[in-house]
Amino acid sequence: MKLAYWMYTGPAHIGTLRIASSFKNVHAIMHAPLGDDYFNVMQSMLERERNFTPVTASIVDRHVLAQGSKEKVIDNITRKDKEENPDLVILTPTCTSSILQEDLANFVTRASYNTKADVLLADVNHYRVNELQAADKTLAQIVQFYLQKEYKNIPHINKTKTPSVNIIGGFTLGFHNQHDLIELKKLFTELNIDINLIIPEGINVHQIKDLPQAWFNIVPYRETGLKTAEYLKKYFNMPYIDTTPMGLEQITQFIKEIENILSKNGIQSNFDEYINQQNTFVSQAAWFSRSVDCQNLIGKRAVVFGDATHAANFAKILHNEMGIEVICAGTYCKHDAEWFEKEVSNFCQQILITDDFNVVGNYIAENEPDAIFGTQMERHIGKRMNIPCGVISSPVHIQNFPLSYKPFLGYEGSNQIADLIYNSFTLGMEDHLLEIFGGHDTNQKFGDTNISSTQIVWSKQANEELNKIPGFVRNKVKKKTEEYASKNQIREITLEIMYAAVRFVTNKKLIKFLTKI
């Protein structure tokens, strides 16, 4: 048992449902107690979905507990088959069914005798995988099922005449996924590469058989899609790219990898000119990083936390493209820790692999970065500590399902990201300026804290200096200085003592504030 107040990823069945509901005409039936269909609420609220979420429950209640589901699951499957006429029904286990140990596979087999739809049992175990892993698994499972059905012993596959690609990933409730997909489509159109299929978003399962016709696959989000890409590579010899085209450097690398794949297929293309064009004229991010605005950001300290894809790539952008010091990058995707560490270890001082938000919160509290880039949780941590935060990754609230076009990938994405970064920092800076120029009643605050201290007196000069320090570090400076003084048995704090104290605790940030003023 563990005490848990908040979690970054949901239970496994949510992942399965996100995949199922991304396809067209696929219906998921959860084997679950009443109340576990909360997914429908999220889908309908967050995505503001106009259609009924194709998820129903085969309810587990006392009767089921006592006597087993018997025909109930089968009846529910065949009923849905008649009512909705889906191509595929996915029976989705939950934590409850994981321990009931009913033979769901048997139900699936029996139900499929009487349905027009195909029926599959999602192969996910609640206690072994989380939401993202389950999504990855389910997508691969569905793809495998339809490809095995179509290609008994992998014959020669006819590739499309001109270069084409499958985009694997991008699904219901994904962070800015819809916008990213539009941006990716645009990118490929400009590179003159056809999109063969985007999976799972919006296709129906009968199109899956066409997947192998593409020349290669891309997996923009490594959380969901890698398993499918690996399967396609192994059995259909399809190369894949798992670089995320997020940020200018990454986009360039992404396009270079495409060049590489094309040349292996006998097509020599050079996209340098294109990349140049985009960097100069479409994306403002490259120019922005050279502009005076961005100079002001150099050396600022940031903490990044999120899923592996977004956190790693965002950290790279901050460090490589903006000159921001990423003091810590972290992810809650523990299962992908090795990759994550490899990606960020050469420029981050600290890497956090954890799904405990307290660990993240404590790190932020101790290190007081200038800005945070994280999930909804970090946004609230930032709020509490008065540190600005840009949201870059799930889990998110409804405000992160914006109506306007806000991709994170591709060239337009780089603009959006630059705005996000810049706004977070200027917001923070404006706040501090307000503090410095008396936006708050500094004297009173100081007076309040002074009462608490014992015996130690502050010289007039030191006192004035202390008052100039922005509010949110002032108390810390005061405390540290007084600690230092009492340790050294000093009664009066002068300006010199104050500097000495701060240098003694070697908090870079405090020194910076003191020397700047």
Partner 1 sequence: MNMLKTENLTFECETGNYHTFCPISCVSWLYQKIEDSFFLVIGTKTCGYFLQNAMGVMIFAEPRYAMAELEEGDISAQLNDYQELKRLCLEIKTDRNPSVIFWIGTCTTEIIKMDLEGIAPKLEKELNVPIVVARANGLDYAFTQGEDTVLSAMAQRCPKISIQNHKQAPLIIFGSLPESTANQLSQELTKQGISISGWLPERKYTQLPEISEGSYVVGVNPFLSRTATTLMRRKKAKLIRAPFPIGPDGTRAWIEKICSVYQIEPKGLEEREEKIWNNLSPYLEIVKNKSVFFMGDNLLEISLARFLARCGMTIYEIGIPYMDKRFQSAELELLEKTCLEKQHFLPKIVEKPDNYNQIERIYDLGPDLVITGMAHANPLEARNINTKWSVEFTFAQIHGFGNAGEILKLVTRPLQRKSMRSSSFV
Minimum distance of ligand SF4 from residue 34's CB (angstroms): 6
Minimum distance of partner 1 from residue 68's CB (angstroms): 12
Minimum distance of ligand SF4 from residue 59's CB (angstroms): 10
Q: Three-class SS string for 411-436?
A: HHHHHHHHHHHHHHHHHHHHHHHHHH
3-state DSSP call for residue 270? Answer: coil
CA distance 179 to 332: 24
Residue 37 vs 341, nearer CB to ligand SF4 = 37
Pairing of strands 88-93, 26-32: parallel
What, of partner 1, ligand SF4, none, does residue 87 touch, CB below 5 to 8 Å by kind? none
Sign of the dihedral defined by the CA atoms of residues 60, 62, 63, 68, in that order = positive
Q: Which of 486, 509, 511 is nearest to 500 (CA)?
A: 511
What, of ligand SF4, partner 1, none, does residue 6 touch, CB below 5 to 8 Å by kind? partner 1
Minimum distance of ligand SF4 from residue 395's CB (angstroms): 17
Name which position in 35, 153, 161, 506 contacts ligand SF4 (CB under 6 A).
35
CA distance 287 to 240: 31
* Per-position x/- string for 79-98, each x denoting binding to ligand SF4 as judged by CB under 6 A, each - no binding: ----------------xx--
The residues, ordered by sequence, that sit 6+ positions from 451 with a Cβ below 8 Å of its Cβ are none
Residue 9 vs 224, nearer CB to ligand SF4 = 9
DSSP string over 434-498: HHHTTSS-HHHHHHHHHHHS-S-EE-HHHHHHHHHS-HHHHHHHHHHHHHHHHHTT--EE-HHHH
CA distance 436 to 38: 47
Identify which range of 33-41, 180-188, 290-298, 302-310 contacts ligand SF4 by CB under 6 A. 33-41
377 appears as a binding residue in the annotation? no
Q: Three-class SS string for 18-47?
A: HHHHHCECEEEEEEECCCCCHHHHHHHHHC
136 catalytically annotated = no
10 appears as a binding residue in the annotation? no
Query: If you search the block for the tokens 């201290």, which residue do you land on?
Result: 453
The residues, ordered by sequence, that sit 6+ positions from 296 with a Cβ below 8 Å of its Cβ are 425, 429
Q: Which of 376, 347, 352 is nearest to 364 (CA)?
A: 352
Q: Is 36 in the site for ligand SF4 (CB under 6 A)?
A: yes
CB atoms within 10 A of CB 486: 14
Q: Is 40 in the site for ligand SF4 (CB under 6 A)?
A: no
Identify which range of 30-38, 111-119, 279-287, 466-474 contacts ligand SF4 by CB under 6 A. 30-38
Select which of 61, 103, 272, 293 is catalytic. 293
Q: Which residues bind partner 1 (CB under 8 A)?
A: 1-7, 10-11, 13-14, 32-38, 40-45, 48-53, 56-57, 59-62, 65, 76, 83, 94-96, 99-100, 126-128, 130, 377, 380, 397
- Binding-site size for ligand SF4 (CB under 6 A) equals 5
Name which position in 10, 11, 15, 33 contacts ligand SF4 (CB under 6 A).
33
Minimum distance of partner 1 from residue 70's CB (angstroms): 15
438 appears as a binding residue in the annotation? no
Q: Which residues carry out catalysis?
A: 293
- Binding-site residue ranges for [4Fe-4S] cluster: 36
- Binding-site residue ranges for substrate: 428-429
- Binding-site residue ranges: 36, 428-429
- Applying CB under 6 A, the residues found at the interface with ligand SF4 are 33, 35-36, 95-96
